[in-house]
């Protein structure tokens, strides 16, 4: 079905995409951007209708990476779903682990020891730093900077992934958290290595900013492009740095106080324009705040067990009921919704992924802009296809 054939009911409303009429004569050029395209972050397709280079219609097409993650989750035990959550947003597997563990812990009322909570915070914030760094790298790569910022980001990410590997055994598919704690304890050498990496992070962010933040080309490309109004952002369920770049003060870490986030001093950076540049800067500033959290968490890490002794690994059968647990993943609000019927497998296993829902307003942001801007706006949403299509 071509994009101009899709008869979307143009429901009048402030939260609907604007209607852009092509100016001038001539037919629209229909371009299927993707699924094989250098900057669709994997197998994603956008059906564009172009008037010249101006976008007048845009329809995202999903499902090329669909593997019915939720059905898989319903067919296996609670524990066996844990490694599958790594594959959702494969850049930040540890936050996925945490979100799932949090939902299950809510479902069964499981406590988590303090040390495990600290380790979770450390790992989640390291994940956030490396995700934001690489997402900015991808964004600038899409702007055509031949990979230099991406390589700088990856150089830093490499150090963090090395930490993940030495702790969890795997660089990306960490499969680290368990219901009621974590799998392996951190060792003193690991903590020293982490402190060293964390001490080097501000230098990296400074270098990154010197390279990019004041670059005129970047400012010209990003400022005023892909504006997302705060009221639409809230209404469309946009979350994470995208929401905050639109000036909405909403951070699940601050709102839900999950884990032990209320023990740390950190601020939530907010943008005023809601354009690509604000999303970029909010990510940069969030990296700096994450570094602050990391420093505090590494300083205060208490001794103690990392697994609740009451937690069960085998024969885990929650009582009937349901729970929705969510965390502030680097890409936005990541939630798991579980219904238990008392059996060893969840009756319903649902993942609320930020990437998919943040794409709801892709059309709104892109209409009227150029093809080149579409790529940038799409990049600034910061998605991972493993999470969008599940």
Partner 1 sequence: MAANPFFVNLDQIFVLLRNWLVGFLPVALQPMAGVLLGVIAIVCVFPGLFALTTVFERKGLGRIQNRIGPNRVGPYGLLQPVADGIKSLTKEDIVPLRANAVVHFLAPLVLVVTVFMGFAVLPMGRNMVLVDMDAGLLFFFAMGAATELSVFMAGWSSRNKYSLLGAMRAVAQMISYEVVLLLSSVAVVMITGSLSLPKIVAAQNQYSNGFPHWYIFTPWGLAGFLTYAIAATAETNRSPFDLPEGESELVAGYHTEYSGFKFALFFLGEYLAMFSISGLGTTLFLGGWSAPFSFLTWVPSWFWFFGKVMLSIFVFIWMRGTLPRLRQDQLMNFAWKFVLPFTLLNLLVTALWRFMGDGWQRWVVCTVILVAAYVVMGRLEMRSEHFGRRSYRYAE
Partner 2 sequence: MSYSSLAAWILSWEKWTDSCWQLNLEDALLGDGILKGMAETARNFFGSYVSKERLTTVEYPEQRIPTAENARVFPFLVYDGANWEAGMRCVACQICEKECPPKCIYIEKSADKKPDYVGKQQFYPTRFDIDVSVCMSCQICVEVCPFEAIKMDTQFELATDDRFGGLLFDRKELSRSNEYYHSIHPTEASEVDARLAEEKAKVEAKAKAAAEAAAAKAAAAANPAPPAGGGS
Partner 3 sequence: MKSVEEIKTAIEAAIPGAGVEFVSNPSPSAQHSLRLAPESAIAVATFLRDDAELAFDFLSNVTGVDWPDKEVAEKVKVTRTVTKSVDGPEGPVEQQVEETVEETHKRVEPGCLEVVYHLYSVAKKHGTLVLRMRTVNRSDQTELPSLTGVWRSAEFQEREVFDLYGVVFSGHPDLRRLLMWDGFKDHPMRKDYVEPDDFEYEPTPHDEVLKRAQERKSEGLGTRD
Binding site for partner 3 (CB under 8 A): 1, 6, 8-11, 13, 15-16, 62-63, 66, 68, 70-71, 106-109, 232, 234-239, 248, 250, 255, 318-326, 333, 335, 337, 339-340, 347-348, 350, 352, 356-357, 359-361, 389-390
| Nearest-angstrom CA–CA distance, 369 and 352 | 29
Per DSSP, 177 falls in state: E
Which region, judged by CB under 8 A, interacts with partner 2, from 99-107, 162-170, 255-263, 379-387? 162-170
Nearest approach, Cβ of residue 1 and partner 3 (Å): 6
Q: Which of 388, 390, 332, 325 is nearest to 356 (CA)?
A: 388
Q: What angle do CA 82, 109, 307 make, to 5 degrees?
A: 60
**Binder of residue 361, out of partner 2, partner 1, partner 3, none (CB less than 5 to 8 A by kind):** partner 3
296 binds partner 1, rule: CB under 8 A? no
Nearest approach, Cβ of residue 102 and partner 3 (Å): 11
151 binds partner 1, rule: CB under 8 A? yes
Per DSSP, 152 falls in state: H
Nearest approach, Cβ of residue 274 and partner 1 (Å): 12
205 binds partner 1, rule: CB under 8 A? no
Interface with partner 2 (CB under 8 A), residue from 175, 246, 355, 358: 175
Q: Are 64 and 96 in contact (CB under 8 A)?
A: no
| Nearer CB in complex with partner 2: 15/77 | 77
Q: Are 128 and 201 in contact (CB under 8 A)?
A: no
Nearest approach, Cβ of residue 134 and partner 2 (Å): 14
Q: What angle do CA 107, 111, 114 make, to 5 degrees?
A: 145
Per DSSP, 274 falls in state: -
| Nearer CB in complex with partner 3: 67/155 | 67
**Binder of residue 320, out of partner 3, partner 1, partner 2, none (CB less than 5 to 8 A by kind):** partner 3
345 binds partner 2, rule: CB under 8 A? no
| Nearest-angstrom CA–CA distance, 143 and 370 | 13
Nearest approach, Cβ of residue 296 and partner 3 (Å): 23
339 binds partner 1, rule: CB under 8 A? no
CB count within 10 Å of CB 112 equals: 24
Q: Which of 208, 188, 232 is nearest to 16 (CA)?
A: 232
167 binds partner 2, rule: CB under 8 A? yes
| Nearer CB in complex with partner 1: 202/344 | 202
Interface with partner 2 (CB under 8 A), residue from 184, 199, 304, 342: 184
Per DSSP, 249 falls in state: -
| Nearest-angstrom CA–CA distance, 231 and 247 | 10
Nearest approach, Cβ of residue 336 and partner 2 (Å): 16
| Nearer CB in complex with partner 1: 8/148 | 148
* CA-based torsion, 318, 321, 327, 333: positive or negative: positive
Which region, judged by CB under 8 A, interacts with partner 1, from 135-143, 185-193, 298-306, 314-322? 135-143
321 half-sphere exposure, CB direction, 13 A CA radius? 12
**Binder of residue 324, out of partner 1, partner 2, partner 3, none (CB less than 5 to 8 A by kind):** partner 3
Residue 337 token pair? 């919704």
Nearest approach, Cβ of residue 198 and partner 1 (Å): 20
Cβ neighbours for 213, distance < 8 A, ≥ 6 positions apart: 281, 284
**Contact string (CB under 8 A) for partner 2, positions 217-246, x = contact:** xxx---------------------------
- In 143-258, which residue ranges form alpha helices assigned H by DSSP? 148-168, 188-212, 216-222, 230-235, 241-245, 252-255
- Sheet of 321-329, strand order: 321-329, 332-340, 348-352
Q: Are 222 and 277 in contact (CB under 8 A)?
A: yes
Which region, judged by CB under 8 A, interacts with partner 1, from 23-31, 106-114, 304-312, 348-356? 23-31
* Interface with partner 2 (CB under 8 A): 76-77, 79-84, 86-87, 148, 152, 155, 158-159, 162, 165-170, 173, 175, 183-184, 207, 210-219, 313-314
């Amino acid at each position: 079905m071509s994009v101009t054939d899709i008869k979307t009911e143009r429901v009048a409303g402030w939260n609907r995409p604007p209607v852009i009429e092509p100016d001038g004569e001539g037919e629209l050029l229909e371009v299927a951007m993707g699924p094989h395209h250098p900057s669709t972050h994997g197998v994603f397709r956008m059906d564009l209708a172009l008037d010249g280079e101006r976008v007048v219609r845009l329809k995202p097409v999903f499902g090329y990476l669909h593997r019915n993650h939720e059905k898989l989750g319903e067919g296996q035990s609670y524990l066996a779903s844990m490694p599958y959550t790594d594959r959702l947003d494969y850049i930040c597997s540890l936050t996925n682990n945490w979100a799932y563990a949090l939902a299950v812990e809510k479902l069964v009322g499981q406590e988590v020891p303090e040390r495990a909570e600290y380790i979770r915070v450390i790992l989640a914030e390291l994940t956030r730093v490396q995700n934001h760094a690489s997402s900015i790298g991808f964004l600038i790569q899409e702007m055509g900077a031949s990979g230099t910022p991406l390589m700088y980001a990856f150089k830093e990410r490499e150090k963090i992934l090395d930490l993940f590997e030495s702790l969890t055994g795997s660089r990306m598919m960490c499969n680290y958290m368990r219901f009621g704690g974590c799998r392996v304890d951190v060792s003193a050498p690991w903590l020293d290595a982490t402190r060293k990496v964390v001490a080097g992070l501000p230098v990296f962010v400074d270098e990154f900013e010197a390279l990019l933040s004041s670059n005129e080309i970047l400012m010209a490309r990003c400022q005023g492009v892909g504006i997302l109004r705060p009221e639409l952002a809230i209404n469309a369920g946009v979350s994470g740095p995208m929401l905050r770049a639109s000036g909405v003060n909403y951070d699940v870490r601050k709102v839900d106080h999950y884990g032990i986030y209320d023990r740390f001093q950190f601020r939530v950076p907010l943008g005023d324009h809601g354009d690509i540049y604000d999303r970029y800067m909010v990510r940069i500033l969030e990296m700096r705040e994450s570094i602050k959290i990391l420093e505090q968490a590494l300083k205060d890490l208490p001794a103690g067990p990392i697994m609740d002794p009451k937690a069960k690994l085998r024969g885990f059968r929650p009582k009937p009921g349901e729970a929705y647990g969510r965390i502030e993943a680097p890409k936005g609000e990541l939630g798991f919704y579980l219904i238990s019927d008392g059996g060893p497998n969840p009756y319903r296993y649902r993942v609320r992924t930020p990437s998919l829902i943040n794409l709801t307003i892709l059309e709104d942001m892109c209409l009227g802009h150029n093809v080149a801007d579409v790529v940038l706006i799409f990049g600034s949403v910061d998605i991972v296809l493993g999470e969008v299509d599940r």
